[in-house]
Amino acid sequence: MLGFRSVHLLKLAILLVAVSAGLLAGCKGGAVPGLTTPDFALSTPAPLPAPGAAYPPGAGSSPPGVPVVPNATYTLDSGDKVRVIVFGQDNLSNVYGVDGSGKVAMPLIGPVRARGLTTFELGQEIARDLKRKYVKDPKVTVEVATYRPFFILGEVNKPGQYPFVNAMTVEAAVAISEGYTERAKKRFVRLTRRFGGVMSTVMVPADYPVQPGDTIYVLERFF
């Protein structure tokens, strides 16, 4: 016959086996019930404040809403050039630059706001203005002809303004500026980007995707 102490230990052992079995059953695929994987990682920073693509430190490969390659969600700003096609109106179809005020100067209708709009939205704006006075049922398409340049400053051999290249990363931008200086801090750089008219700055890793208009600043190391 088991003594009181032995019975107590036996019950404890049975309880531990039951709890272990329950945990294993709930952890198929490696997940532990009640635990979640942290969202923050140095290589994948969270977004900067603003419309769809912003973040406090953390925008690694890509924070939510920030495209690696500019696409239909890309918003226009000063320095971009757009190709406007108005079907049946060859005199209006051309490549236009977005000026310092964020507008595109079109024949007949004059300046049209482009800053902060996608190419689709700009096409709608142009069509609406044309319809008011000049064209009965305008069909307008807009695409980016040339993206605005990016800037790289600080500890690189040739700081300055450079044409944007699709799928560019910070590392590629450094290569375009002829590499780091001997004093450069290489693991992280400071990146400034405009979101809805607001400039936001974060520290990002070398594999972070660059967008048109970004300013990259390579810091100096002190040891």
Structure tokens at 73: 């969600």
**Domain coordinates in residue numbering, the chain:** 40-68+148-223, 81-146
Written as one letter, the residue type at 159 is P
pLDDT at 6 exceeding the cut of 60: no
Please give the average per-residue pLDDT across 161-169, as a whole number: 93
What region, left, alpha or beta, does residue 79 occupy, with left being phi > 0 and alpha being psi -120 to 50 degrees?
left
* Mean pLDDT of all residues in 12-28: 46
> What mean pLDDT do residues 85-94 have?
92
- Write out pLDDT tens, residues 33-64: 332 333 323 333 334 433 333 333 333 333 43
- pLDDT tens by residue, 179-198: 999 999 999 999 999 876 78
Q: Do 40-68+148-223 and 81-146 share a fold?
A: no
Which uninterrupted H or E stretch holds 189? Answer: strand 188-195
pLDDT at 216: 97
Cα gap 205→186, rounded to integer Å: 9
pLDDT at 113: 95
pLDDT of amino acid 136 = 87
Find out if CATH 3.30.1950.10 is the number for domain 81-146. yes
Sequence-ordered list of residues with C-beta below 8 angstroms from that of 48, at least 6 positions apart, any chain: 54, 55, 56, 59, 63, 193, 195, 200, 202
For residue 11, what pLDDT is reported?
55
DSSP calls for 3-37: -HHHHHHHHHHHHHHHHHHHHHHHTTTSPPTT---
Instruction: Look at residues 175, 179, 173 and name the one whose alpha carbon lies nearest to residue 157.
Output: 179
CATH of the structural domain 40-68+148-223, one choice from 3.40.640.10, 3.30.1330.20, 3.30.70.1380, 3.10.560.10: 3.10.560.10
CA 105 – CA 90 distance, rounded (Å): 16
Q: What is the mean pLDDT of residues 190-209?
A: 90
Indicate whether 123 pLDDT > 80: yes
Of residues 151, 159, 155, 153, the one with CA closest to residue 220: 155
Residues 177, 180, 186, 188, Cα dihedral to 10° = -30
Q: Are 202 and 57 in contact (CB under 8 A)?
A: yes
What does 76-141 look like in DSSP terms, one character per residue?
--TT-EEEEEETT-TTT-EEEEB-TTSEEEETTTEEEE-TT--HHHHHHHHHHHHHHHT-SS--EE
- Which residues lie below 8 Å from residue 154, measured CB to CB, with a gap of 6+? 184, 189, 190, 216, 217, 218, 219, 220
Q: How much is the pLDDT for 133?
A: 81
Task: Tell me which range, 21-30, 50-59, 200-209, is most confidently predicted by mean pLDDT.
Answer: 200-209
Q: What is the mean pLDDT of residues 101-108?
A: 93
